[in-house]
Chain A
């Protein structure tokens, strides 16, 4: 019992232990709900609240009508899962006593790029835009394509993952050069 409490209060687990939990989430989701967890779709559903009225003049564009209808027209399974992710992470952080309001990442970012908030916020915003467009082109994100596809042995995942690592590594070579 004490051992369990100690584990729950830890800031980090070994990635392999946490990874077992990750695998179980995918097994149980497919078994119990016949669905694979994915996050980026819910962001499209949210964007559709604004996007549907904006594309109403173009009937050929059904993206915000049938593919990702607005959240306001009904909450799907993935939406509830995203809510669960937030509260699961929040519980983990609170039990570990690590909750802290921060403007920029304390570890590494500040040492390398300085303490300017605007710089980090611009990168986070632009990064979010690029990520979501990439997810739209690829057909999912790390959860809904790389992992969901990977565990089902879909070729899509094994094209997506190398794509991420090739460009991601090049970006870090350019950004960090010989810093840090």
Chain B
């Protein structure tokens, strides 16, 4: 499908902004992604949840004004979405990147993202295309209820879309508030203790922030 010039400009500019915030959010660093799966650094969740909050409010407001139609969404397939997610999670947790963050990570000069990372995605893409017709893949791609395919939660639950956006937004705000609170408390009370334990266990060579005591 050919893309119009204005659409190309939109794609380039929005991609640029996307790459910018992926880097500024720290999403293209191995430890940020590895640690969200260990629940020791929730940066990835805070970034994604804020994005969803802004995104769903903006998109459903525009929809209420009749400015967007929600047609660009992936199909809902119960087994495929869940099991595909589980397979995806194994790779994401091991490598510490996902497709978008691998591209943004390559831009930092990280050769492990640029060479084996991207080659892995292309090899995986080739393998998937070659096994596409196997019974297993076809079952995963179609199992479930076809009438669900392009449904959205407001229709499925029979509630007003804006009410559901409000409920989700509240849940995300509560999550961000609780995480913020917990972090503040941890910094005050726990961080020095944890750091001390790590030094004693021989996991880190020296205090992580020697400058603090030296500078004061």
Q: Which residues of A contact B (CB under 8 A)?
A: 10, 12-13, 15-37, 39-40, 43-44, 46-48, 50-51, 54-55, 58, 60-61, 63-64, 68, 74-93, 96, 98-105, 107-109, 111, 117, 120-169, 171-172, 175-176, 179-180
Using CB atoms, name the residue of chain A closest to B78: A159
With A23-B51, A128-B95 in contact, is A155–B121 under 8 Å at CB? Answer: no
Q: Residue among B29, B88, B91, B101 with the most chain A CB within 10 A?
A: B88
Q: Are B126 and A47 in contact (CB under 8 A)?
A: yes
Dominant secondary structure of chain A at its interface with chain B: helix
Dominant secondary structure of chain B at its interface with chain A: helix
Query: Complex Cα distance A55/B16, Å?
Result: 34
Count of A-B contacts with CB under 8 A? Answer: 523
> Which residues of the other chain, B, contact A16 by a CB distance below 8 angstroms?
46-47, 50, 176
With A60-B133, A74-B2, A130-B90 in contact, is A125–B117 under 8 Å at CB? Answer: yes
With A47-B122, A128-B95 in contact, is A25–B14 under 8 Å at CB? Answer: yes
What count of chain B residues pass the 8 Å CB interface test?
130
> Which residues of the other chain, A, contact B120 by a CB distance below 8 angstroms?
124-129, 131-132
> In the complex, what's the smallest C-beta–C-beta distance from A169 to chain B, in angstroms?
5
> Which residues of the other chain, A, contact B130 by a CB distance below 8 angstroms?
51, 54-55
Using CB atoms, name the residue of chain B closest to A36: B72
Which one of A86, A111, A153, A161 contacts B164 once the chains associate, using CB atoms below 8 Å?
A153
With A51-B129, A76-B3, A134-B88 in contact, is A156–B110 under 8 Å at CB? Answer: no
The answer, yes or no, to whether B196 is at the interface (CB within 8 Å) is no
